[in-house]
Amino acid sequence: MPDLGLEVLWKGKNFVRLLGGLWVALRISLIAAGISIVLGILLGVAASRKRSVSSAILRIWLGVIHIMPQMVLLFLMYFGTTRAFGWNLSGEVAAVIVFSLWGSAEMADLVRGAVTSIPAAQRESAEALGLKPTQVYRWIILPQAVRRLIPQSINLITRMIKTTSLVTLIGVVEILKVAQQIIEANRKASPNAAFGVYLTIFVMYYLACRPLSLAAKKLEKRWG
Amino acid sequence: MKTVKNVVIVAVILVLTLSLAAAAAADAVYRTLDEIRASGTINIGVFSDKNPFGYVDENGEYQGYDVYFARRIGEDLGLTVNFVSTEAANRVEYLETGKVDIILANFTVTPERAEKVDFALPYMNVALGVVSPDSRIITGLSELTENDQVIVITGTTAEDYLVKNNPEIRLQKFDTYANAKTALENGSAAAWANDNTEVIAYALQNEGYTVGIPSLGSQDTIAPAVSKGNETLLNWINDEIKALAAENFFHKDYEATLVDTYGLDYENSLVLEGGGLAE
């Protein structure tokens, strides 16, 4: 067995610190994911009507979010808002806002795609049966759209969890930063610790994302 | 249509960033010494993964040469220190937005940075150093012959310095520390030039190598920095650094934090007491 420097994990509180870092990453991404799902569905439904104002706004917003690296958005939200408006957001709040902006833009786009992919005949038959427009959405369009949405939204959430590693740039210490701290503090005593520590956080990320994809598979089966 | 849309998007972004930049120039955001005192906590930005200057130990406590000084500042002000983990890339930004009161993160004083932040008196020296094998220790650049080559790492101050001041020396350039070290160990060059802290640590960790030139070229210094214009805090730090010289504070700091990495031989060349004004 090669020397992975795993002994650093049991020094002091190192392992607990890594778990704490994972919790920070999950807290930010899951809160943002929750906000993104709600906002994304509302926006996406609004944008699915062709040539509407909301679809134009969504397209500009998506464009901005797609061009801007998440790192730039984090800097703007954390440092930029202090300069421009004197707001003093904490790093975590700024991160949740940025991830929600990003998440709901992408989610809205997914919802728009799913809603427009439902054949027009579905809506027309529902209307012919006398359902009101809101009822058409509630009972006919959304249930079918949500089914098509599940794989991509799970993909989006896992991407959000992984992207939280950037928040260290605005002073939030999450799992990857804790890992670097541990590696650097032990560079002399355990020069190989980088392997062991990165291997450990790989397993932690996997264990955190795995339940999500399992749940998604179950839902797909049940509704599929 | 597509290009029109893209142009609009780029324009929106430009306006946003410009208005942010304009607002940035408008007002100061720092806390004065009295405001910091009244709050009971001082925010100090340090590195959390740069052993031995600023790092976090296995108990989650901040440690290192910079942190030792930061704790003393907190003690003498009677305040709790809130350590903020900073990166090399965001140190200036933290001060410009007043999100920390002081940066103590191995911050080298440069003219470009001094336009954006205010540096206090320095507490450490940095310079270039040259390490060579014990079989032929290079103690001066004049000892190098036409056949000798010197290893440098691309983009470092060592490379700039040698290209500018000693163009006659033949350089072997590498992109990474690992490759440079391997080349030196393989004997492909007479010496390796880099930041003196790097080569000193290397010579101590690898038997058979000695730093023949511990300080080459212009001396740079490491100093605390505060937001531009925060004079009350700046003056307090300067007075503190001068007062601490009486007890040789930074020598004690060195012996507590840096001695394992650099040994005792370099204590006097690396440490600055009282901002170096007393000597």
ipTM confidence: 0.81
Mutant choice from B99, B106, B202 vs A, greatest count of A C-beta within 10 A: B99
The whole-number pLDDT of residue B170 equals 93
Closest to A17 in 3D by CA, of B58, B63, B81, B85: B58
- CB atoms under 10 Å from CB of A118, counted, come to 17
Residue B179 in tokens: 């490759």
Q: Which domains does chain B have, with CATH numbers?
A: 27-123+236-276 (3.40.190.10), 126-219 (3.40.190.10)
Chain B residues near residue A8 by CB distance under 8 angstroms: 58
pLDDT average, residue stretch B262-272: 87
Rounded Cα gap, residues B121 and B221, in angstroms: 9
Which has more confidence, B5 or B250? B250
Q: Do B9 and A67 touch (CB under 8 A)?
A: yes
- pLDDT per residue as tens, chain A (224 positions): 678 888 888 888 999 999 999 999 999 999 999 999 999 988 888 888 777 787 888 888 888 887 888 989 999 999 999 988 888 899 999 999 999 999 999 999 899 889 888 898 998 999 999 999 889 988 888 888 888 888 889 989 999 998 999 999 899 999 999 998 998 888 778 878 888 999 999 999 999 989 988 988 888 888 76
**Dihedral (CA of B159, B161, B164, B167) sign:** negative
pLDDT average, residue stretch B21-47: 82
Chain B residues near residue A85 by CB distance under 8 angstroms: 23
User: What CATH number has the domain spanning A6-223?
Assistant: 1.10.3720.10
Rounded Cα gap, residues A153 and A148, in angstroms: 10
Rounded Cα gap, residues B245 and B273, in angstroms: 5
Contact call for residues B138 and B213 (beta carbons, < 8 A): yes
Rounded Cα gap, residues A198 and A207, in angstroms: 14
Between B5, B51, B97, which is nearest A184 by CB? B51
Q: Does B242 have pLDDT greater than 70?
A: yes
Interface contact A84, partner B, CB < 8 A: yes
Question: What 3-state class would DSSP assign to A23?
Answer: helix
The whole-number pLDDT of residue B43 equals 96
Contact call for residues B227 and B117 (beta carbons, < 8 A): yes
Min Cα–Cα distance to chain A from B64, Å = 10
Sheet-wide strand order for B41-47 = B80-86, B41-47, B102-103, B225-227, B117-119
Which has more confidence, A189 or B193? B193
Contact call for residues B239 and B251 (beta carbons, < 8 A): no
Among the ranges given (A59-63, B34-38, B54-58, B90-94), the one the predictor scored with the smallest mean pLDDT: A59-63
Closest to B151 in 3D by CA, of B122, B129, B123: B129
Q: What is the mean pLDDT of chain B?
A: 87
Q: Do A88 and B86 touch (CB under 8 A)?
A: no
pLDDT-based confidence at B35, cuts 50/70/90? Answer: very high
Interface contact B28, partner A, CB < 8 A: no
The whole-number pLDDT of residue B26 equals 47
Chain B residues near residue A5 by CB distance under 8 angstroms: none
Contact call for residues B41 and B47 (beta carbons, < 8 A): no
Min Cα–Cα distance to chain B from A132, Å = 36
Chain B residues near residue A181 by CB distance under 8 angstroms: 48-49, 55-56
pLDDT-based confidence at B9, cuts 50/70/90? Answer: low
Which residue carries 């957001």 as its tokens? A89
Q: Do A184 and B50 touch (CB under 8 A)?
A: yes
Q: Where are the alpha helices (DSSP H) in chain A?
A: 14-47, 53-67, 70-75, 81-85, 91-117, 120-128, 133-135, 142-163, 175-185, 193-223
